[in-house]
Structure 1
Amino acid sequence: MRRWSSVLALSLVPLLAVTTLPPSASAQDDDYGYVRNILPPGENGTIDATDLLTVGPGLEAQEGKNAPPNFADQLEMYDELTTHAPYSLDKTDLGGLFKSAGFTPEQVVREESPRAGVAIQWDQFGVPYITGTTYGDVMFGSGYAAAMDRMFLMDALRHTGSGRLAEFAGGTPGNVAMDAAQHKAAFYTEEEATAQIDKIAGEYGAEGQRLVGGLDAYLAGINAGQDKLCPAGLVVAPTCPVEYALLGQQIESWDRADVIYIASLVGGIFGRGGGGEADNAAYLQQLTKKFGKLKGRALYRDLRTKLDADAPTSASVKTAYGDGEALGDKRRGVALPDLGGQTGPGSGTVIARERVQAKVERAEPRMDLPSGSFSLRELRQGMSNALLIGAKESATGKPVVVFGPQTGYFTPQLLNEQVLMGPGVHARGVSFAGTNLVVELGRGIDYAWSATSASLDNVDTVAERLCNVDGSKASVESEGYLVDGTCVPMTRNTPSETVHPSAGWQGAPATYTFLVLRTRHGIVQERTTVDGVPVALVAQRSTYGREVASAIGFARLNNPDYVKDAKTFQRAAHGIDYTFNWFYADNRDIAYFASGRLPRRAKGTAFDFPRWGDRRYDWRGWLGFDDHVREINPERGYLVSWNNRQSPKWGAPDNIWGWGSVHRSDALEDKVRRDIRGSRKVSLTRAVGIMADAATQDTRATSVLPSLLKVIGKDRRTTEARAALKRWARAGAPRVDRDRDGAYAHQQAIALFDTWWEDGEESVAYDVMGDRLGVLARDVPGNLDDHPRAGTGSAWMDPPYYSYLNKDLRTLLGDRTVREDLAFAYCGRGSLKKCRQTVRTSLRGAVTRVLAAQGVSKVADLTYDKSIDAIRHSTSGAVGVRDIDWQNRPTFQQVVAFERHRPR
């Protein structure tokens, strides 16, 4: 693929006409306080033929060497943070690690007025400042600027959202599987997608109509931007993104359905929670089969950690939602799919192929684009964090904040930064490419807001009884289902796409046809049996069919006439249907609101398990504003979130088993508590330092390793190993190379602990939990680990095993700070002597394996290749960027300290 890019660039050299614009200087301090931000790798995401030649054959752009302007400039700033000692940072350091985030450019590098009433200025970082005479003018400018910076990425995303990625980028197994997965998650015909906009507009009256008018202007702006870059649709034009010629694709105009497709893609990844009921049912039945019904159900409740009193929560208010600790599996509305039951195809299945040679059913859904391959679905583990220090604990007497979304690392970045200024909108920040008619995360005139994914339970699994309309006996192949005793045919769609060879894929032309089945509850995921009765398992998502509705809430956040204080911020956030934890700060208040269109469940159903599709078990409306978790200026003086639980009475959604006694949010909260208990007032630089310190901490080691070492005690066979592990734990378990000498400071301990925790099928977690659970210790519906090796930056997100070992071992050791004991002892079945033998044997085995793997005889000679942890940007275009050192940190991050405010 890189060779094809080079050939294309050389062929276009005669067409190029390079012009440069002299920069002009213009700066103005923010009138309300200190706001800076960062978004790697850079704002410019368009590569034309000239840029391709500049980058050269390696196709890796590096700032100061071969990168086009603003393509990788923020990457170097972002990477530099881990070279600083966290608690030595000062305001000068912040100035080099984050860029100014005001409403007036420090430098105007170029200007353009794409139509009357619209003015755009780009600053030295490539951020567009868009001013419009009318609201529609602002939206036109937003679409125009987005196309200039993200044209190809936006195109790839709209094709992915519509289930036509393979048609656009090539028929690789990954692309075809991605289309199948999207049909299964959020299928719409084009007519359905378009109709969604008018439907939502009708719900919101004048506010909705204004937004629709803005959407149409935004689409017109995108199309105008495409015409500017690729005049008359000419893909070999000097300014046209090179990827179109590489793929042999033409330029297509945008319409309303395209925005819905992208919104459905993004919302299906970040704005949902739940949907794990079938997995829960299977594990419960495995437990009861092995241990009997009484004990199996008790073990399930133990492992579920649904309302663990030891779990950290973002809010201190006790807002309740969910079943609590009750299983509910015996309720009349619960349907438990049979273990090992018959299965039939669900939506997304390829049902017809023409001229297809390779099978795609077992491929992982991925986006295979000209110079990169990545999975958008992995972003559900990306997530975000927030640290807000209230006025009473701040060194200045005013809130100090560092927060942002962690949405993975892409070239160009999925997030797109802009400044929008006009009637009813005055905001700066980021949005997902292709949805940026609003600023989704950022700042207003005198306030800032951000979010972390909440995973609140807005998805249920519904078991529809299958039937045949002709009255014949039902099977798992049936496409009818019972509604009030009547057999109703499912809605059946068969979308198809034809793929052709290109620089990204060299296969023969082929056509794929997919099956999509829908009931009144949603999209059929699979067909199986419950107590031998054929059923369809359907995913019912509260935001399905209304992805665009959340734009209302975002538009309110952008509007300074709507958001004037913490309370109006909460009201604005309530207009967002997606499930997010929202955070707010101005010069007086910090605030929190957990958004989501959350259903009220009917009696007879259980949050954890599938329910029957009978009408009596349908949802009973939605949670109102007062029933959502929300808080302003908490008494404890701070707000912390890293995708942990919301409130002490708020149950974990059915698909998350890891909201137990250990969560990565502890890495932030423990440090804040330490300062507050020590009567230290937290400055802005201190808050950034806390974030930076947590960003390189191994949560597994800090939460589990001390107890493991205490259980082992003095074991002569592991003396050297234990000493190395203990030194690392006492240092805070960092994984960081501050002097950039190429190695982590505690690389011996890191190499050993990684092997001890997860080494193929071997794990100390399986050893400890296996003392009671046996082989079922490996089948808990949650990951064993979330390691930086994934390359996405994010780590330590929600594996339940961290909490299991932390609580079980602390309890066994007599730690009285454990607030809620497990019902069962796992390691050694409650015998410290037996547990000690289990853990010692486990560590000895890990030492033997890691020494053999590295061909050394002593722990002191172990090494660790830190590049395993490196953040690797997923490249969606023709050019990528270099890997950077690992840090567990938001992708877009704001540093905020407001000093003033408009009259309240």
Structure 2
Amino acid sequence: MRLRPHPLRFPAAALAAALFATAAPTAAAAPSATTTTAAPDYCAARCADILPPGENGNATLAEILLNRMFGSRPAHTDDQLGPYAALASGYPGLTEAGLRGFFNDASFGVPADQVAGTTSPRPDVTIVRDKAAGIPHITGTTRYGTEFGAGYAAAQDRLWVMDLFRHVGRGQLSGFAGGAGANRQLEQSFWQAAPYTEAELQQQIDVLAARGGRATQALADANAYLDGVNQYAQQAYNARTFPGEYDLTGHIDAITNAGSIEPFKLTDLVALASVVGALFGAGGGGELASAQVKSAAEAAYGKDAGDALWKSLREADDPEAVRTLHDGQQFPYGTVPDHPQGEAVPDPGSVVPERLVYDATGSAGTAATAAPGVLPGNLLTAKHGMSNALLVSGAHTDDGHPVAVFGPQTGYFAPQLLMLEEIQGPGISARGAAFAGLSFYVQLGRGQDYAWSATSAGQDITDTYAVPLCTTDGSPVTTAADSYLWHGSCLPFDRLERKDAWAPTTADNTPAGSYTLVMRRSNYGLVTARGTVGGAPVAFTSLRSTYRHEADSIIGFQELNDPGAVHDPASFQQAAQDINYTFNWFYADSAHIAFYNSGTNPVRAAGVDGGLPVLARPAYEWADFDPATNTARYTPAAEHPQSVDQDYYVSWNNKQAAGFTSAGFGNGSVHRANLLEDRVKALLRNGGKASRVSLTQAMEGAALADLRAEDVLPDLIRVLRSAPVTDPGALTALQRLEGWLADGAQRKETSPGSHAYADADAIRVMDAWWPLVAEGVMRPGLGDPLFTALTGALQINESPSGGQSGPVSGGPVSVNESSPHRGSAFQYGWWSYLDKDLRGVLGDPVAGPLARPFCGGGDLAACRGVLLDTLTKAAAQTSAQVYPGDAGCGAGDQWCADSIVQRPLGGVTDAASTWQNRPTYQQVVQFPSHR
């Protein structure tokens, strides 16, 4: 495999100086001769974790150049990647002792013989690095010193990444890292989601300060953390040990050292928090796409039949969907009303996205193409399916203590967005992962006698309003109007601007350019599009409950790190409630497991369907809505899905509970979470007992599974085998698929490191067949307009390689494949549609069926013909057609097409690794005792 070099420029005059420079260590001392343990540890060496590629995310210019020339890497840059990747082949024979070969020991402290080095940037804090992974273990004697040390260690490991993301959060990435098309695409998407003035970033801090109590302590912690960041940055600048990316992007001259690293401030942390919140902690916002499906369905089938079809495709509360809470718990939220009030379905063809870019000059006048940047351009806009969790209560485990295997799927980057750390000090005792720049608290990890993790929940906290446009001068109102109606008054939109400009020496060598990013804001939220409803011009706005409140979650994270605050399921759930992002939180200690769904869920007006655009009128606003503070009445804690000591929990971004309506489309009978649910059920069947080993094996078995093959292929085979298959090509393909299914339907290597799949031909056929058969089954009954609208609401496919399209008819169709090489797969697709429809054709009972038959119009023989035709076409596609190749993979290289690439955020690159659909950061824990 060939990886594209990262597009950072090399100052030619600096090459020799950099290569022969000797980097002096900063504030380092010899290894300690004593064991460092700052707090009681009740896990007894039964806590483990992993975060590839490695802890060290800083490389000097010399180290970057050596990496490019000779492939060498700084210590601890990629040492967690090998064990992480090896689990894919090693999990079937996994043993308790063997877990250490695939995970880090996540015990507190560092044994004396494992101390690699000790740093004391202040007398009241010590940072110990372990030999195994180079993780910082921070121990402070004062609260200030502890947090200062956390900031110092964060800058040691992630200074460049922190700088990147504070600029992303402000819509100024191009000016900082170059005007590559992907950089522009990314900063534009974040500016659309969270455009803030500097005063508004400061306002979030001021609101926190006024709360007092824990909020006051949190701001003090953040300030101490920033002091540590800035001290390290200044020391590294003086010693020339700062990240070499500052040289490569022209911020510091590699010869003279002229330049600077801008000091970090509190508003930077709010900007960083807004990025994290937009990426992982928001839900909803797909109302326009849903409305366009509804409109197209009604146009095709009439009002009543079309509405029924739209509801069945939406699967808002599908009775066959896998749920995290499976003991019959009901948590109604976002329930679809029988007779929606205030719905604002746009007139067909009227919706036009809001203009974002103004005053473009130079290279900014060209399209923001996919030219490589320092981050993926679609980091925010591509749909994300992240994170999984498997927990089993002590009543069903080998030693009577709960076991958990869980972690977030935050993507694969070099260095990671997350970093590992241990923090021990007054009121803080935790080890785990935290986002770079926000690591004054561990966000996912373990305390002294408990562990916690999260999956993205995505419940609907974002609504779309159709805001009537108006003019203040009496001129005719068109969709170009720059004012809107609010409670009878015509008000101008707020205009939020961010100018970004980049120099000629940009990362991708494009000419200099600049533009101004503009978002318009109303009391009903940010303008995302314009159109008409019933012929009247409107602006469609996005109103998110966490907008202007991204910093609020700091309190919940503080509590999770405080052993005095969290000590049992109830106190854990209280801490999770204090986090306003939409997450599913999971907890395990020696006696209990627990679950809580967090998020500021707005209370909607009676009769309003949150899954559709709503007319912007007082009657349809959120309860107690105050646009001045963007606050409202929220559902109380008791109404959030929650549980303690259910027999087991699984989550892979699926439905939380009955009645808790899914935002968007795709939570139906076949979901990625079924892969976990089925395996955990199998472990516990007939009184079986789970262990750390068997639960890890269940997770990894699901991580290598092809959801389409495991849960939909049996339906396809039954239809095809309903009569003899006589065509030789189709029969051969079918037999190979049947063999793969019998072999476990996994995408696994023939042997470790072979870079070739077992059942490779069957996998090729499946990859080629799915988009063809999905379209062949669904498009004739949907019709072209509805088919196109539905692909906008829910993509057809999400395979690991992301390279298949393959329309049957009607010209090219975008199947909305997500980015390749990112690991996460099978979250979004038409799996349920085909499963329900084919079972209906076969005469099986189907709960929550589609409102009409699709495959062959419901006729088995005709349906079989569709499947045979599409299978024959799929089997005829070559590997080069199915896997067309990209910058790092040759056409036809199946393994490489699937492989995980640690996307470079800086100058050092890592090798690709075999595909796995598992969390990026992962814990395996089983506490034998408790305080």
Q: What TM-score range do you get, normalising by the shorter chain?
A: over 0.9
Shift of residue 600, structure 1, vs aligned partner: 0.7
2:606 alignment partner in structure 1: 603
Distance 1:35 1:103, change over 3 A: same
RMSD value, Cα: 2.2
Structure 2: segments with no counterpart, 5+ residues: 1-6, 252-259, 624-632, 802-819, 884-890
Partner of 2:391, secondary structure, is strand
Compute the displacement of 1:6 (Å): 7.8
Aligned residue in 1 for 2:666 = 658
TM-superposed deviation, 1:466: 1.0
Match of 2:539 in 1: 536
Deviates more, 1:469-478 or 1:160-169: 469-478
Counterpart check, 1:830 vs 2:858: yes
Partner SS, residue 149 of structure 2: helix
Indicate which of 395, 411, 432 corresponds to 1:429.
432
Q: Tell me how far apart the structure 1 counterparts of residues 856 and 666 of structure 2 sit (CA, whole Å).
A: 22
Is the 1:133–1:422 Cα contact (8 Å) retained in structure 2?
A: yes
User: Aligned match of 1:680 in 688, 693, 696?
Assistant: 688
CA contact (8 A) 1:152 1:241 kept: yes
Q: Does 1:745 align with 2:741?
A: no
Q: Find the residue that maps to 2:668 and give its secondary structure.
A: coil
Counterpart position of 2:50: 38
The CA deviation string for residues 580-625 of structure 1, in whole angstroms up to 9 with x for no partner, is: 0000000000100000010010124211111122222111110111
In the alignment, which residue of structure 2 is the partner of 1:311?
321
Q: Specify the code of the residue in structure 1 equivalent to 2:346.
A: P
Q: Whole-Å Cα distance in 2 between the matches of residues 378 and 123 of structure 1?
A: 38
Change (3 A) 1:344 1:323: closer
After TM superposition, list the pairs within 5 Å mapping 1:689-700 onto structure 2.
689-700=697-708
Q: Tell me the distance in 1 between the aligned counterparts of 2:353 and 2:74.
A: 51
Deviates more, 1:111-120 or 1:16-25: 16-25
- The equivalent of 2:248 in structure 1 is 246
Alignment check: 8 A CA contact 1:341 1:529 kept: yes
How far apart, in 2, do the equivalents of 1:454 and 1:854 lie? Answer: 33
Alignment of structure 1 residues 409-448 onto 2, 5 Å: 409-448=412-451
The letter of the residue matching 1:886 is: W
- 3-state SS of the aligned residue for 1:701? helix
Q: 1:496 to 1:42 in 2, by over 3 A?
A: same
Alignment partner, residue 208 of structure 1: 215
Given that 1:602 and 1:617 are in contact with CA atoms closer than 8 Å, whether structure 2 keeps it comes out as: yes
3-state SS of paired residue (1:609): coil
Alpha-carbon deviation of 1:821?
Answer: 3.0
Q: Does 1:80 find its partner at 2:86?
A: yes
Find out whether 1:159 has 2:167 as its counterpart: yes
In 2: Cα distance, 1:767 partner to 1:678 partner: 42
Quickly say closer, same or farther: Cα 1:5–1:305, change in 2 above 3 A. Answer: farther
Aligned with 2:835: secondary structure? helix
Work out the CA distance in 2 between the residues paired with 1:70 and 1:854.
Answer: 36
Find the aligned partners of 1:848 and 1:119 in 2 and give their Cα distance: 63
CA deviations 1:750-770 (Å, max 9, x no partner) are 011111113xxxx10111123
Q: Secondary structure at the match of 2:649?
A: strand
- Map Cα deviations across residues 495-542 of structure 1 (whole Å, 9 max, x no partner): 212210225132333321122211112211122221121111111010
- How far does residue 26 in structure 1 lie from its aligned partner after superposition? 5.3
Contact 1:246 1:503 in 2 (8 A): no
- In the alignment, is residue 756 of structure 1 matched against residue 769 of structure 2? yes
Structure-2 residue corresponding to 1:859: none
Q: Which residue of 1 aligns with 2:900?
A: 871
Match in the other structure for 1:139: 147
Secondary structure class of the residue paired with 2:490: strand
Between 1:730-739 and 1:865-874, the stretch displaced more is 730-739
Greater alpha carbon shift after TM alignment, 93-102 vs 806-815: 806-815
1:213/1:150 Cα in 2 relative to 1: closer, same or farther (>3 Å)? same
Q: Give the conservation status (yes or no) of the 8 Å contact 2:177–2:506.
A: no
Equivalent position of 2:922 in the other structure: 893
Number of residue pairs matched by the alignment: 865
| Alignment CA distance shift 1:492-1:864 (3 Å) | closer
The Cα shift of 1:337 comes to 1.6
Instruction: State the match for 1:234 in structure 2.
Output: none
When structure 1 is superposed on structure 2, of 215-224 and 469-478 the one drifting more is 469-478
- Please name the residue that 2:105 is paired with: 100
Superimposed CA distance per residue, residues 615-645 of structure 1 (whole angstroms, 9 cap, x where no aligned partner): 22111110111000000111xx110001110
Mark the CA change 1:55 to 1:537 in structure 2 (over 3 Å): closer, same or farther.
same
Matched, 1:795 2:807: no
TM-score (structure 1 length as normaliser): 0.92
CA distance in 2, matches of 1:325, 1:832: 33
Q: Say if 1:581 and 1:69 are closer, same or farther in 2 by CA, change over 3 A.
A: same
The alignment status of 1:320 with 2:326, answered yes or no, reads no
Aligned to 1:858: none
Conservation of the 8 A alpha-carbon contact between 2:429 and 2:562: yes
**For structure 1, which segment, 886-895 or 284-293, has the greater mean C-alpha deviation from structure 2 after superposition?**
284-293
For residues 69 and 880 of structure 2, the distance between their equivalents in structure 1, rounded to whole angstroms, comes to 39
| Contact 2:287–2:463, Cα closer than 8 Å, also in 1 | yes
Is contact 1:808-1:827 (8 Å) kept? Answer: yes
Alpha-carbon contact 2:63-2:74 (below 8 Å) kept: yes
Alignment of structure 1 residues 242-391 onto 2, 5 Å: 242-249=244-251, 250-316=260-326, 317-326=328-337, 328-329=339-340, 331=341, 333-341=342-350, 343=352, 345-346=354-355, 349-356=356-363, 358-360=365-367, 363=369, 368-369=373-374, 373=376, 375-377=378-380, 380-391=383-394
The AA in structure 2 aligned to 1:116 is P
Letter in 1 for 2:117: R
**Aligned CA distance change for structure 1 residues 267 and 38 (closer, same or farther; 3 Å):** same
Structure 2 CA distance for aligned equivalents of residues 177 and 69 of structure 1: 33
Closer, same or farther in 2 for the Cα pair 1:557/1:177, shift >3 Å? Answer: same
Deviation of the 1:17 alpha carbon: 4.4
Shift of 1:482: 0.9
Q: Take 1:854 and 1:891, find their aligned partners in 2: how far apart are those partners?
A: 27
Match of 2:422, SS state, is strand
Aligned ranges for residues 703-714 of structure 1 at < 5 Å?
Answer: 703-713=711-721, 714=724
CA distance in 2: counterparts of 1:373 and 1:25, whole angstroms = 44
- 1:63 matched to which residue of 2? none
Q: CA deviation at 1:21?
A: 6.7
Aligned in 2, Cα 1:422/1:363: closer, same or farther, shift over 3 Å?
Answer: same
| Matches of 1:638 and 1:367, distance apart in 2 | 43
CA distance in 2 between counterparts of 1:297 and 1:304 reads 10
Q: CA deviation at 1:13?
A: 3.8
Are residues 1:846 and 2:874 paired? Answer: yes
Amino acid of the structure 1 residue aligned with 2:100: G
Q: Does the CA-based 8 Å contact 1:394-1:400 persist in structure 2? A: yes
What's 2:797 paired with? Answer: 785
1:70 aligns with 2:83: no
Equivalent residue of 1:201, what SS? helix
Determine if the alignment matches structure 1 residue 625 to structure 2 residue 634: no
The correspondence for 1:767, drawn from 776, 787, 790, is 776
Quote the offset at 1:380 in angstroms: 4.6
